Structure 1
Amino acid sequence: MFIRAYLRASTDEQNAARAKDSLTQFVNNHGQRIAAFYTENISGTQLERPELNRLLADTQPNDILLVEQIDRLTRLNDQDWKSLKRHIEDTGLRIVSLDVPTSWQALQTQTAQHDPIMSAVLDAINNMLIDLMAAMARKDYETRRARQQQGIAAAKQAGKYKGRQPDSERHQKVHRYREMGMSLKEVADATGYSRSQVCRILAKEIQA
């Protein structure tokens, strides 16, 4: 059994690796360790995600897909979530999420065979809760999206809309660390960006 942690944030300005320490501590508390981290900045509403696809390709039956919350795995619509979940199940992966305690049983190295009925009941409850959390994650996205659009419309009407602004202070750190001779990986680790994000930030200055 390998535990594969999936870390996701929606935009380049957010730190996708933020939950790395809490996931590591959680797994350590269960006497296990994380075999690999898969980190990306991409919307959870997108079914096709490079790092998630890489995780699915790397996995073996009975491996664990570990997330901080179900909304880090999905904000997909119902059809796309069913497709992703089916793919996860076909690979033999088991989802463990910190916000779904019934999923934690998958971290046990020995599956309880002395009470198969109770095990089946727990599996059914766990699947139901994961589906419920997935639906709530999508609903939360749609609600926030609608409110955002309302706010943008009001700001445009008032002549105050300027669009989403980049984190200039964090971008300056990227340039400063790079000028100090730090490698792309070191800059990424120091700022919380991925290496591809660091490259894009540096490229913007060259293009300017």
Structure 2
Amino acid sequence: MKTPNDPGTIDLMTGRLLLGYARVSTDAQELAGQRDELHAAGCTRIYAEKITGTQRNRPELARLLDHLRPGDVVTVTRLDRLARSTRDLLDIAERIQEAGAGLRSLAEPWADTTTPAGRMVLTMFAGLAEFERTLIIDRTRTGREAAKAKGVKFGPRPTLSADQAAHARRLIDQEGHTVKEVADLLGVHRSTLYRALEKKETTQ
């Protein structure tokens, strides 16, 4: 008889442990549908959570990945239940592969890394993701160089203008306010005010 702490069902044909992962984005959504599909696919140990996919901290997914053993298979109903983006999917798939385990999606059979075809598809995706990343870096570099050629300066803008710094100096020197009081008045941190005052003094 299966106990609540039983880690999962072993596929008798392959000896693999079948693990499921289910996720919904809000409390208003239900996990029952995903659980039913995963149970039907042979998964009796299911890690499930209600959390938006945009959040990096997904405790149940982390638990699943930490407990993977060689030969295990992680099953999801759809890939968007598992990952936030292509890059995220590839990172998770890599962690699963490093554990010697496999990944499969019920809705996307081409994403089955337990088969040579599925592994090839994800390898192609990894190449495309790297290619896209290179293009973005190149476009960003080209844009920055063109902007610099036109006199655009990059870097953080000063929080306080020269006029604000001059006003702050008058409040401190002539009206006797403390640096903390002036910083609070201007809505900045004291260190920001100190930097603005020092910069004004060096430019005078």
Q: If each structure's helix is expressed as a fraction of its own residues, which one has the higher value? A: 1
The TM-score normalised by the length of structure 2 is: 0.47
Could you say which structure has the greater relative contact order, defined with CA pairs below 8 angstroms and 6 or more residues apart?
1
Higher Cα Rg, which structure: 2
